[in-house]
Amino acid sequence: MVSPFAGTGAEALAQRLSEIRARYPATEPEWVADVVRAVLAALEGETAPPDRALLAEVEALGRIIANAKAEIAALQMDDITAAHIPFATDELDAIVAHTAAATEAILESCETLDTVAEGLAGPDAAKLQDATTRIYEACSFQDITGQRITKVVATLKAIETKVAQIVTAFGTRPASAASASALLGEETGLLNGPQLPAAAMGQSDIDRLLASFD
Amino acid sequence: MPIDKSMHVLIVDDYKTMLRIIRNLLKQIEFNNVEEASDGADALAKLRAGSFGLVISDWNMQPMTGLQLLQEVRADARLKTTPFIMVTAESKAENVVAAKQAGVSNYIVKPFNAETLRDKIEKVLGHG
């Protein structure tokens, strides 16, 4: 893009800056650097060394911002929000759907066994019922893993939001995603889902805590 | 006095698999009169329309959470004494405290087993 800055007269520069501000609210960093270079040239011999040093730093800052923008563009961060994260969340959703279907099939078979057990008597009936009880208990894994995966998806969406904010800050794409925390309700602090085993309270810990209220 | 296992029990969870598991576990401990609700709002409507001796509810549901359901139940003159067990994966101390302050009768952390379910039901119904 051709910089709209040319000429080094102070009044002309001020006039052009006003025009540019009106026409381009989101100014390209390289333009800022151009302006600084032009100002430096215009004030050559009229500014004190500290002023020139400061202006030089502003110019360098403009270059840094321009380089960072180029590097971020080279990283193709749009791909993260447009492809990678949606792919990952879709895969996780598929895992939840497949395990749910498998669990339903297991439960259905287990219910059939229960029906068979009702027609039996003695130790075999008890043994069969004990086995189906263990299967029912084990099937609750699906709820726990589902909640864990939901937490991972929420984390991915939060990353997606942050990436979108970075991309937006560097002017390559408008913001689209709302803040993840803003989407959560009032009970945010209490909706943490399953804890990792090392951090989780067990049933006995919870029983003790509840008993402390009595 | 033995527990009246014919009592009407409402189980609340937005995960239909979990409803199925709890229903089957209740059946194995001889609670057969079980009704299901898929979230807090559905549960509240069923509670207000019917007569239940026990509520077993998940916490993490939308749009009305289990905690909000509990608060609504305790604020309702007709429902406020209904035994209410929270069955949830939320296992932080602040969750237990919040549930207790809202008037929960007992609290079961997922994953749980049939023995824990039986034990908590007996305690809540005054036989533990």
**pTM across the whole model:** 0.69
Number of domains in chain B: 1
Examine the domain organization and report whether A67 and A143 are in the same domain: no
Residue A64's domain spans which residues? 10-74
Cross-strand pairs, B79: none
Which own/partner contact pairs does A63-71 have at CB distance under 8 Å and 24+ positions apart?
A: A63/A29, A63/A30, A63/A33, A65/A29, A65/A32, A66/A28, A66/A29, A66/A30, A66/A33, A68/A170, A69/A29, A69/A170, A69/A171, A69/A172
Q: Which tokens go with B40?
A: 């807090």
Residue B44's domain spans which residues? 9-124
Question: Comparing C-alpha atoms, which of B31, B30, B82 is closest to residue B57?
Answer: B82
In the predicted structure, residue A28 carries a pLDDT above the cut 90: no
Number of domains in chain A: 2
For chain B, which residues score pLDDT lower than 70?
1, 127-128
Count the neighbouring beta carbons within 10 Å of the beta carbon of residue A71.
10
Best mutation target among B12, B24, B67 (most A Cβ atoms within 10 Å) is B24
Question: In the structure, what pLDDT confidence band is assigned to residue A58 with cuts at 50, 70 and 90?
Answer: confident
Higher pLDDT, A169 or A122: A122
Could you tell me if residue B4 is inside a domain? no
pLDDT score, position A80: 80
Which residues contact residue B25 at a Cβ distance below 8 angstroms, ignoring those fewer than 6 apart?
A: A133, A136, A137, B114, B117
Could you tell me if residue A92 is inside a domain? yes
Tell me what ipTM this predicted complex has.
0.84
Higher pLDDT, A178 or A206: A206
Question: In the structure, what pLDDT confidence band is assigned to residue A180 with cuts at 50, 70 and 90?
Answer: very low
Examine the domain organization and report whether A99 and A149 are in the same domain: yes
Could you tell me if residue A205 is inside a domain? no
Could you tell me if residue B3 is inside a domain? no
Q: How far apart are CA B61 and CA A75, in angstroms?
A: 39
Whether B17 and A100 lie within 8 Å, measured CB to CB: yes
Whether A210 and B92 lie within 8 Å, measured CB to CB: no
Cross-strand pairs, B85: B56, B106
Examine the domain organization and report whether A164 and A87 are in the same domain: yes
Q: Which of A29-33, A77-81, A198-202 has the lowest mean pLDDT?
A: A29-33
Provide the 3-class DSSP secondary structure of residue A178: coil
Name the residue of chain B whose CA is nearest to A100's CA.
Answer: B17
Higher pLDDT, A4 or B31: B31
CATH code of the domain in which B111 resides:
3.40.50.2300
Residue keyed to tokens 């709002």: B41
Contacts across the A-B interface (CB distance below 8 Å): 107
Higher pLDDT, A69 or A117: A117
Cβ of A97 under 8 Å from any chain B Cβ? no
